[in-house]
Every structure is written in C-alpha cells, then in structure tokens.
Amino acid sequence: MADKSLARTCAKLGIRLVHSAPYRPQGRGKIERFFNTVTSQFLGEITVTDTPMLPGTSPEAGSEVSSLQELNTLFTAWVNMIYHHTVHSSTGQTPLARWEASWEHRTPVSKPLEVIRQAFLWSDTRRVTKTGTVSLHSNTYEVDPLLAGTKVELVYDPFDLDGVITVNNHQGLPAGTAKPLDIGRHVHAKVTNAVKDNDTATNISTGINYLDLVATRHRESMTAAPISFADIHEQNINIRIQPKEESR
C-alpha cells in the first residue's frame, strides 16, 4: 500500500504508480540498488550542522550541510557528474544513456514548477465543526462558517503547519484558506521523526570534501565559457619579449 502523500503526488503529476508483486523482492532490485548507492556514495559524505557552510571553508568531517537547499545542490551535482556517467555492471550502460534511449519515439511532458510544488503538498479530509473550525495534527484552524457540518480537504505543507492551508469543499472546489487559531505543532510528526532519525545516524567520513569538489566541477560545467584556442595562439604571436637593460 502506497503512502497517501505519494499517491496524491503521482495523481497530480499524471504518474502511474506501479507496485512490485508481493513476496518477490526481485521486482524491487533496481530501486533498492539505487538507494544503496546513494547511501554508500553520497550520504556517507554528508555531515549535518546547524551553521551554514562559509564559502572557501574545508570542514574536516566531509561536506557540511545545514539546509535542504545545500543538500539538494550537492545531490544534483553528484547525480549529474558521478551517478549518470557510471556504467552499470548489469546493463552495460550508464544511467543517463539508458534513460535517453528509453525516450525513443516519445516526448517527455514538462510540468510548470508551481504545478510540481502543489503536487508535493499533503492533504487530509476533515469535518468542519458547528463553530466553523477544523482540527489538523493537534492544531485548530478557522474556515468559512458556511462550511460548518461539511467535509473539506485541507492542503498543506508538512514542514510549515503555520503557513497557508488551502481549503477545498466536498466537491473539490476552492473554498478559501484556513486561519490558524491554536497551534501546538508546527511541523508534521513524520517530519519530526525524520529529523530524529537523522540525528541518530552516524557517518564515517573520509576527511575529504569529495562532494564539494564534485559540486565545483558541476558549477564549472554549467557556467564556464569554452576556451578559444585560436585566440590564445593569436595572443602568443603578439607577445614580444623585451630585452633586459644592460647593467652599467
């Protein structure tokens, strides 16, 4: 059974969620192997810190990460520079080559960033009380009084239960937003548990900023201008060596 949030994301993005057959681990081999590769080659180089990493610093415990943005930057660089170009032992192809070959006679459909962001929000169904309030994860919110006694869908960011929560009526139509009244929990319980799991994890670091080096190579490959060897040759021709003045 898929997690409710995953099922919602796939439905919003038009992704068909395919499950492997029960009691047949062979069907999950590829994704399990990918997770193992990410854990051993990427996460093993990560050290979590509360202090943002300063440019030019070289922490002794590998690549220090203090935010999701930093983690995503390093992961994107690792995927593009290392994982995509490593030949798989079973397929004999790199992941990038195999992916590109699978699109023959097909065209990928790109979604706007806002559509993708909305798809990754979570949602829950609640019944509105007679006083026009709803309860969500130990918090109380106020909605349109006209919704009293009906069921509504609350769409929210699990990392920010204080933020904007969109309300849809029982027909799925927009019905305003939920106003916070009594907030006792600021993030979803699953988010809190994920942070605790991360705090208890221990990584053995090589002492080398491997991922920072990869990220630097990735930035250079995206922004560096091509070298004009013709211009270099022309500059060398125009160089004239001035003779030293004779000492008196």
Classify strands 165-168 and 63-65 as parallel, antiparallel or unpaired: unpaired
Report which residue type is found at 185: R
103 vs 231, residue with greater confidence: 103
Angle at 87 between CA 90 and CA 203, to 5 degrees: 95
Supply the pLDDT for residue 147.
97
Per-residue model confidence as pLDDT tens digits over 145-165: 999 999 999 999 999 999 999
Question: Could you tell me the two tokens for 86?
Answer: 């490593």
Give whole-number Cα distances, 14 to 105, 107, 113, 218, in Å.
Answer: 19, 15, 15, 31
Give whole-number Cα distances, 29 to 20, 25, 96, 159, in Å.
Answer: 10, 7, 19, 31
**Average pLDDT of span 188-193:** 77
The CATH architecture to which 121-187 belongs is Roll (2.30)
85 vs 62, residue with greater confidence: 85
**Average pLDDT of span 196-211:** 55
DSSP-H helix ranges across the chain: 4-13, 29-37, 68-81, 95-101, 113-119, 189-200, 210-223, 229-238
> Is pLDDT at 51 greater than 90 in this prediction?
no
Per-residue model confidence as pLDDT tens digits over 33-48: 889 999 888 888 887 6
CATH 2.30.30 placement within the chain: 121-187
Per-residue model confidence as pLDDT tens digits over 77-100: 999 999 999 998 888 899 999 888
The closest alpha carbon to 48, from 207, 217, 208, 200, belongs to 200
Maximum distance among all Cα pairs of the chain, rounded to whole angstroms: 105
SS3 call for 45: helix
Laid out side by side, the sheet with 151-156 consists of 122-127, 151-156, 165-168, 174-182, 139-142, 133-136
Query: pLDDT confidence of 2, banded at 50, 70, 90?
Result: low
7 vs 221, residue with greater confidence: 7
- What's the pTM? 0.60
Per-residue model confidence as pLDDT tens digits over 221-235: 766 545 444 444 444
